[in-house]
Chains A and B, each alone.
Chain A
Amino acid sequence: MLEIKDLNVWYGGIHAVKDASMSIKRGEIVTLIGANGAGKSSTIRSIAGLVKGAKGAVTYTARDGERVSLLGRPPEVMVKLGISLSPEGRRILPQLTVEENLVLGAYSRSDGDGISRDMEYGYALFPRLKERRNQKGGTLSGGEQQMLAVARALMSHPDLLMLDEPSLGLAPILVSEVFEVIREINREGRTILLVEQNAFAALKIAHKAYVLEVGNITLEGTGADLLENPKVKEAYLGG
Chain B
Amino acid sequence: MNLNLFMQHFINALGLGSLYGLIAIGYTMVYGILRLINFAHGDIFMLGAYFVFFATIQYKLPWALGLAIAVVGATLCGLLVDRIAYRPLRDAPRISALISAIGVSFFIENISIVIFSGMPRPVVQPPSLMQAFSLGGVRLVPLALMVPAISFVLVAALLWMVYRTKPGLAMRSISYDIETTRLMGVSVDRIIALTFAIGSALAAVAGIMWALRYPRVEPLMGIMPGFKAFIAAVFGGIGSIPGAMLGGLSLGFVEIMSVAFFPNLSGFKDAFAFILLIAILLIKPTGLMGEKLEDKI
Contact = CB atoms under 8 A, between A and B. Distances in A.
Interface of A: 48-50, 74-76, 79-80, 84-85, 87, 91, 93-96, 100, 103-105, 107-108, 152, 156
A50 B183 contact: yes
Contacts of B180: 87, 91, 93
B187 interface: yes
Contacts of A95: 172, 176
5 contacts: A50-B179, A87-B183, A96-B172, A103-B166, A156-B185
A104 B184 CA distance: 6
Nearest to B187: A76
A79 B185 contact: yes
A100 B173 CA distance: 10
A104 B173 CA distance: 8
The B interface, classified by DSSP as helix, strand, loop or mixed, is helix
B181 interface: yes
B185 A80 contact: yes
A100 B177 contact: no
Contact of B184 (A50, A74, A79): A79
B182 A104 contact: no
Contact of B169 (A76, A87, A96): A96
B179 A103 contact: no
Interface in B163-196: 166, 169-170, 172-173, 176-177, 179-188
Contacts of A100: 169
Contact of B185 (A91, A93, A107): A107
Contacts of B186: 76, 104, 107
Contacts of B173: 93, 96, 104
B230 to A, nearest CB: 24
Nearest to A74: B182
Across the A-B interface, the 10 shortest Cβ-Cβ residue pairs: A108-B185, A79-B185, A91-B180, A75-B182, A107-B185, A76-B187, A104-B184, A76-B185, A107-B184, A93-B176
B271 to A, nearest CB: 36
A91 B182 CA distance: 12
A50 B187 CA distance: 13
A146 to B, nearest CB: 14
Contact of A50 (B166, B176, B182): B182
A104 B165 CA distance: 11
Contacts of B184: 79, 104-105, 107-108, 152, 156
B176 to A, nearest CB: 5
Nearest to A49: B182
B291 to A, nearest CB: 8
Nearest to B166: A107
A79 B170 CA distance: 15
Nearest to A92: B180
Contacts of B172: 93, 95-96
Given A95-B172, A100-B169, A107-B166, A76 B177 contact: no
A75 B169 contact: no
Contacts of A80: 185
A49 B185 CA distance: 11
A156 B185 CA distance: 8
Given A75-B185, A87-B180, 17 more contacts: A49-B182, A50-B179, A50-B183, A74-B187, A75-B182, A79-B184, A85-B183, A91-B180, A91-B183, A93-B173, A93-B177, A95-B172, A96-B173, A103-B169, A104-B181, A107-B184, A152-B184
